[in-house]
Chain A
């Protein structure tokens, strides 16, 4: 599979990344190289093979729904880049 620079732009947007114009060519080339290698998976006969699941090794994991004390906003917001009391501040969303 060959990836174009336009596709890099599209995927980068989906991933919320910004790839600089000077890097796009190199990234497209590296991704193509990796995906071309991955194309060998097409040679495997997977007809009827189940998807892998770690859950296959386990039973359903359930627990009691118990009330517990919350750590509170001072703990949960301690690492916020920007906050106002109990709220995170983000750049304006509604213009």
Chain B
């Protein structure tokens, strides 16, 4: 067993039995990053010195029999979680020099559980994008084929897990930013229910849509990480006051190798979406068959407002973004343009030089839609449509445990292919946006490859706070599918 192959569960076992040390494991992964990340570009910041210190401390803790859930396990973080004393850029020039003075709640939870923070990963600027090409720092390549995008916006995190630079990573998902890159990189990505995980210390994009979740090598690790990051937090009033189950219990029910009793719904509207790639269709059909063989009853359901999801999302998310990103004004933190001697001029130059084109585009759409006279026609209407989308899901979950769908209409595209056509890029989010609009959880699990050898995942979405259903079905599916190759050669 190579160090880089270790999952969280695998590393935990070897570490706690002291067969390996966290220092050895962390060193091996850092060497791997050094050797290959120039080609992949998964990381913005590699946390070498501190990671090795954390690893040494973990080894001491293990020797003292003071072992927590992640003691000594190297984890990567998308670069939009505030990490105390460690640069947090959000993939933007405007935060090029930003060093948070505190840890976000999920970061504290990882540290409290002994994790080694190996680095901060690349992303589309402020999580706006589906390809990680919108980063101000670098383009991340898909580890399976470096001419292709890894997906986005958590493309750095997904690429880091697929390239085996870390045991697991955290990402965020506002419209598919965990599930779509996970699908494109052949790893597992879980977007929890809105409110399941505290967003304190996460730089906000669309506050009613954003959710933090795990990107992992397998479904078990997704459950392990979800156990740690979930829960109400007094620092985030939108974090839900609901019980957090032990998510690994979802696997107990699969002991007998069956998912009997579960019902999967396939929305009829999804099957008539334009432009579904034949490879995606093939993988989806195979996945359906595998689930059927496991005893899942498959039925047709209806999400009547599917055709309006992209339009409603691309009003709501930019509106929230235009409001959230107003804070980057060059006064309190981040980049400031030093050439202006007038305050208004300073604001404008700071923002225009600090934000990239896609961020400026979304700020402009949001500002327009929220400006006097347009609110009812755009934000108001989109918000009403969102209510209808949510009701569609509530109705569908009356008759099924989870909804089965592709993650993206096509496998990863080539770097540069869609960069000048924002709307085409937006339309590829059709299957993932709904989960954020309805606040429900969704998971992407590797399900096959395209004819060009690029990974393709399938998506399952469940009712609010029923991540257990996703983990159970995802685990059963993962155990039953035969994939030629789990990880790419770098």
A50 to B363, alpha carbons, bound, how many Å? 26
Indicate whether B234 reaches chain A with its CB closer than 8 angstroms.
yes
Minimum CB–CB distance for A54 against chain B, Å: 5
| Chain A residues near B (Cβ < 8 Å) | 3, 7-8, 11-12, 14-19, 27, 30-31, 33-35, 37-44, 46, 49-52, 54, 57-59, 61, 63, 71, 75-82, 88, 90-93
Task: Report how far A90 CA is from B343 CA in the complex, Å.
Answer: 7
Q: Are A44 and B305 in contact (CB under 8 A)?
A: yes
Question: How far does the alpha carbon of A18 sit from the alpha carbon of B352 in the complex, in Å?
Answer: 6
A30 in contact with B422 given A38-B311, A41-B312, A90-B346 (CB within 8 Å)? yes
Given contacts A31-B361, A38-B311, A57-B464, are A18 and B423 in contact (CB under 8 A)?
no
- List 25 A-B pairs, Cβ < 8 Å: A3-B368, A7-B368, A11-B367, A14-B371, A17-B348, A17-B352, A17-B355, A17-B360, A18-B352, A27-B364, A31-B365, A41-B311, A46-B381, A52-B383, A54-B195, A54-B238, A54-B439, A61-B237, A78-B101, A79-B101, A79-B332, A80-B332, A90-B346, A91-B343, A93-B343
* Contact A44-B388, Cβ < 8 Å, known A12-B364, A78-B101, A91-B343: yes
Which A residues are in CB contact (< 8 Å) with B335?
A: 81
Q: Are A19 and B194 in contact (CB under 8 A)?
A: no
The interface of chain B, by Cβ under 8 A from chain A, is 97-99, 101, 194-195, 208, 234, 237-238, 240-241, 305, 307-308, 310-312, 314-315, 322, 326, 329-336, 340-349, 351-352, 355, 360-361, 363-365, 367-368, 371, 378, 380-388, 390, 422-423, 426, 439, 464
A61 to B241, CA, bound (A): 10
A14 to B422, CA, bound (A): 22
A57 B311 Cβ-Cβ under 8 A: no
- Chain B interface mostly helix, strand, loop or mixed? helix
Are A92's CB and B341's CB within 8 A?
yes
A16 with B371: in contact, given A31-B365, A63-B234, A71-B101 (CB under 8 Å)?
no
- CA A11 to CA B370, docked complex, whole Å: 10
Residue from A19, A38, A41, A49 with most neighbouring chain B CB atoms (10 Å): A38
Q: Inside 8 A of A61's CB, which chain B residues have their CB?
A: 237
What are the residues of chain B within 8 A of A11 when measuring CB–CB? 364, 367-368, 371
